[in-house]
Amino acid sequence: MQSFNITTEKTNVTHAKVEFNNEFRRFSLETLNFTYLEQVIRALFEIDVATTFKIQFLDDEKDWVLISSDEELTYASSLVGSPLRLSIKLAAPANTPQVKPTRPCKEKVNGADPTSRKAHKISIVTARIEMLEGKLTNDLPAGKARCLREKS
């Protein structure tokens, strides 16, 4: 009878599970290097080099925590083990206009008739809705953003 010895070696490979736009990918990292991780994510999800994104990991308390360096990546891996669950969020473009509703002085509002106060409140709500729609469409894929605009 012949016997076989099977040995398994423990390696320092970190398995990662990454989510971006409801698409999941799994891969392994032999070295915990943040720049390399960014390159792998760009390649897997076909993210343009000019596009800025944030990488977050799911910690032991079920919170999403930002990773931005080798040290944080190493800590995240040692904290949660394998698989390291990551989420990718696109950063808002720097040139996105931020709409802030203007508020009149109290004297003008208190002295105005109820219909003009109501119109003022509607304009504040409308400005807030436009701002939120802008943020929402920036985070959605192009097809879903177009569908959202068509429904409204």
pLDDT tens-digit readout, 65-121: 999 999 999 999 999 888 999 999 998 766 655 555 555 545 454 555 566 677 777
Regarding whether 32 and 82 lie in a shared domain, the answer is yes
Sign of CA dihedral 137, 141, 146, 150: negative
Regarding whether 136 and 84 lie in a shared domain, the answer is no
Give a yes or no: residue 127 inside a domain: yes
CATH number, position 53: 3.10.20.90
Global model pTM greater than 0.85? no
Give a yes or no: residue 136 inside a domain: yes
Q: How far apart are CA 135 and CA 93, in angstroms?
A: 10
Q: What is the tens place of the pLDDT at every residue in 20-47?
A: 999 999 999 888 899 999 999 999 999 9
Rounded to the nearest 5 degrees, what angle is found at the Cα of 113, between the Cα atoms of 108 and 115?
A: 115
Contact 133, 146 (CB under 8 A): no
Task: List the domain range (segments joined by +) for residue 122.
Answer: 106-151
Regarding whether 73 and 119 lie in a shared domain, the answer is no
Please tell me the total count of domains within the chain: 2
Give a yes or no: residue 98 inside a domain: no
Instruction: Tell me if residue 11 falls in helix, strand or coil.
Output: coil
Give a yes or no: residue 6 inside a domain: no
Contact 57, 80 (CB under 8 A): yes
pLDDT at residue 93, as a whole number? 65
Instruction: Identify residue 73 by its one-letter amino acid code.
Output: L
For the chain, helix, strand, coil in percent to 5 are 45, 20, 35
Mean predicted confidence (pLDDT) in 127-144: 71
Give a yes or no: residue 3 inside a domain: no
Q: What are phi and psi of 31, to 5 degrees?
A: -125, 140
pLDDT band of residue 139 (cuts 50, 70, 90) is low
Give a yes or no: residue 99 inside a domain: no
Give a yes or no: residue 8 inside a domain: no
